[in-house]
Amino acid sequence: MKHALPLAAALSLAACSGGTSDQADAQADQLDNAAEQSTPEAAEVLEQQADAIRDNGAAGAPGLPGSSVQQAVEKAGDAQATTAAGAAPRPTATPDRSR
């Protein structure tokens, strides 16, 4: 949960004025900034999407469903949640063997 704020900040700060190329660079920079504050798994996803945005441009406004930034944030959240779920398995009941 503590990483949700940097990801949300990336969404809001990535909405910059300027040309299309400038906007794409700004979005990619914000994803890189969010990656620096994220878990390693989420950071990898965010950095890859930032590189893709720099190479190919961004699709849609940052906060809109289906936009490049929104997809990156969703994938990073999934990666982080999957790792968190796998890192701390639920305790299982130990059978009572004293009987």
In a domain, 72, yes or no: yes
What's the confidence (pLDDT) of residue 95? 52
Q: How many domains does the chain have?
A: 1
- The pLDDT > 90 percentage for the chain reads 38
Domain, as residue range, for 59: 21-85
**30-72 residue pLDDT tens:** 999 999 999 999 999 999 999 999 999 888 887 788 888 899 9
> In 3-state terms, the chain is what percent helix, strand and coil (to 5)?
65, 0, 35
| DSSP code for 43 | H
In a domain, 68, yes or no: yes
What the block records as the tokens of 92 is: 């299982």
Q: Helices 68-87 and 40-56, interaxial angle, to 10°?
A: 160
**CA dist., res. 71 & res. 50, Å (int):** 11
Whole-prediction pTM: 0.65
In a domain, 8, yes or no: no
